[in-house]
Every structure is written in C-alpha cells, then in structure tokens.
Amino acid sequence: MVTDKNIDIEGMAQRIASIRENASQLKAMSGGIQAVDKNADRILASVKMLEINVTDVADILRDSK
C-alpha cells in the first residue's frame, strides 16, 4: 500500500509515455534485428502494465479536478 501522499503520479505517467516512445523508436530503427525487436516488444508489454497501473490513475486524478 502506498502511504506517501507526495507521489508525482503525473510525472510518472509522463516518464512512462517517454519510455513507450523510446521503445517504439528503437524497434522502428532496428532494421529487423530480431533481438532488438523482441526485446522492444517485451519493454512495450511492461510499459502497457505500467500504463494500466499508473497512467490510468493519473487520468482519473486529472479528470476529478
């Protein structure tokens, strides 16, 4: 359970979006190198879980203001 009320959810959401963008760009520039493509896909899957857990909460908090 998170007890610290000073957590920067919005900042975390922005960094998650940045990670998604960087992983997508890396995959796009891989030239089809399987190791890069597969690892980028794994990163993107992990980012999806972060989005579900953090970005969705940030959206809810933003909408409630």
Q: Render pLDDT for 13-32 as a digit per residue (tens, 0 to 9).
A: 999 999 999 999 999 999 99
pTM (predicted TM-score) = 0.80
**Residues 29-42: pLDDT tens digits?**
999 999 999 999 99
pLDDT of residue 4: 60
Domain range annotation of the chain: 9-63
The answer to whether residue 64 scores a pLDDT higher than 90 is no
Give the mean pLDDT of the chain. 90
Contacts 24+ apart (CB under 8 A), 47-50: 47/16, 47/19, 47/20, 47/23, 50/16, 50/19
The contacts of residue 14 (CB under 8 Å, 6+ apart) are none
The residue that leads in pLDDT, 58 or 34, is 34
